[in-house]
Structures are given as structure tokens and as C-alpha cells.
Amino acid sequence: MTQLENEIQAVKTEVISMWTLVESQLQKTRSAMLHFDRDLAREVVLKEKRVNAFELKLDRDCENIFALYCPVAIDLRFLLAVLKINNNLERIGDIAEGIAKYIIEPLEDFDHSVFEKTQLIKMFDDSISILADTRIAFEKEDTILARSIFKRDEVLDAINRSAIEKVGECIKDDMNVMSDALYVLSIIRKLERVGDQAKNIAEEIIFFVEAKVLKHQKESSGKN
């Protein structure tokens, strides 16, 4: 392998390490919510600093490769994609931290009936699964798997769209769950953004593997 190839591989390994950490953050947040484990939620908040450190290091590493090797073709596309994926992953880390803070704030466990009525657990599970599959698509350069993310994100969007109505029904049935229901609504809003970030990542995988830019394609095709 050339030195450039070694540097590219090192960046890829580091991205996957960051990805794994962000997945872990989401999984721990889900567990903290289900078991009302405020200490685990605090751990998620503390570990967000590691996610931020990964982002800064990856940015520097990519900049150094640009400066030293002037990459072209797929190497250039890979590095450009990594810069955006890096940012998307950091934002998902922020989302996990934000949800963890919602778990730390209440003094008592959530009413789990609100979880069921709003499909919050399904949304959490789907978000974690989507993030894991985008990582696999990145590792294997699998654009078919990357494209599957777009359809799966629509499920998260549908749960998000129905959230206000479902939360309203929960409150109407029992005013005592109002506080919990509002926390759940906020968590659903954040999980919907995980899907958006994963969709952005999928677009970047397709860009670097196939040299196809999908962003804004739908809007452009609708213009006369």
C-alpha cells in the first residue's frame, strides 16, 4: 500500500471508531430511559466530549491529507464525504446527549404507557438500527444498503408526524402524564433528526462510491 492508502485506511478506521461510540451513546440513552437510570444518562452526557474530540481529530487528519497528498478521484470523494459524515455523527452524538439530559431532569420514572402509545421504543430501536446499517454500508461501500436508509427514515418521519396527536390523547386520558408526555414528544423530535442525519450519511456514501450527488436531486427534478 502507498502512504496515501495507509492514511486513507487510518481515517476510515477512525470514522468507524467514532461511529461505534455514537451508536453506543444512543443505545445507552435508550437503556437509561427504559430503566430510568440517571447515572447511565449522566455517563452519556460526559462521553459527549469524546465524540467532540473524534470530530476535531478527523477534521485535522483530513486536512493534513489534503495538504500533503492532493488526493484525486475516489480518494478525494472519500475524504470530502468523511468531512460531512464526521459532522453528521457529531450531531447524532449531540442528540443522544440532549435526550440523556431529559432523563436526568425528572425526579421520578416516566409513565411507560406514554412510550407505548407514541411508539417511542420502536422509534428508538429503528434509529439505532438505521445508524448501525449506515456504518455497515460505509465499511463495505454498499450503496444498496445505503439507499435502503431513505425508505426506513420515512418510518421515523411518520411516527414524528403522529406524535402531537398521540401525546394529546395521552394527556386527555390522564392529565397526570402531561409532564412525561411532553418529555416524550421532545425525545421523538430528536430521534426524527437521527433519521435525517443517517439519510445525509447515506447520500455521502453513495457520493464517494458512485460519484453521484443525490442532495437536492428531488427538488431539481421538479423544476421546469
Please choose, from the candidates 147, 152, 160, 148, the residue with its C-alpha nearest in 3D space to the C-alpha of residue 127.
Answer: 152
Looking at residue 220, its pLDDT comes to 47
Looking at residue 16, its pLDDT comes to 98
Asked, for residue 223, whether it belongs to a domain, the answer is no
Instruction: Report whether pLDDT(221) > 90.
Output: no
Asked, for residue 181, whether it belongs to a domain, the answer is yes
Query: What are the pLDDT digits (tens) for 164-211?
Result: 999 999 999 999 999 999 999 999 999 999 999 999 999 999 999 999
Asked, for residue 44, whether it belongs to a domain, the answer is yes
- Cα distances (Å, whole numbers) of residue 217 to 32, 195, 203: 39, 19, 11
Query: Residue 126 — φ and ψ, nearest 5°?
Result: -65, -40
Looking at residue 1, its pLDDT comes to 82
Q: Rounded mean pLDDT of the chain? A: 94
What is the grid cell recorded at 27?
443505545
Asked, for residue 74, whether it belongs to a domain, the answer is yes
The residue-averaged pLDDT of 117-124 equals 97
Instruction: Report whether pLDDT(222) > 60.
Output: no
Q: What is the distance between the alpha carbons of residues 158 and 161, in angstroms, rounded to a whole number?
A: 5
Structural domain including 57 reads 3-217
Looking at residue 218, its pLDDT comes to 52
Q: What is the distance between the alpha carbons of residues 121 and 128, in angstroms, rounded to a whole number?
A: 11
Please choose, from the candidates 46, 4, 56, the residue with its C-alpha nearest in 3D space to the C-alpha of residue 25.
Answer: 46
Looking at residue 109, its pLDDT comes to 95
Asked, for residue 34, whether it belongs to a domain, the answer is yes
Looking at residue 79, its pLDDT comes to 97
Instruction: Report whether pLDDT(57) > 70.
Output: yes
Asked, for residue 224, whether it belongs to a domain, the answer is no
C-alpha neighbours within 13 Å on the C-beta side of residue 79 = 22
CATH number, domain containing residue 186: 1.20.58.220
Query: What are the pLDDT digits (tens) for 75-118?
Result: 999 999 999 999 999 999 999 999 999 999 998 999 999 999 99
Containing H/E element for 180?
helix 178-210
Instruction: Report whether pLDDT(65) > 90.
Output: yes
Containing H/E element for 131?
helix 120-140
Count of domains for the chain: 1
Per-residue pLDDT band at 216 (split at 50, 70, 90): low
Looking at residue 214, its pLDDT comes to 79
Looking at residue 224, its pLDDT comes to 41
Looking at residue 107, its pLDDT comes to 87
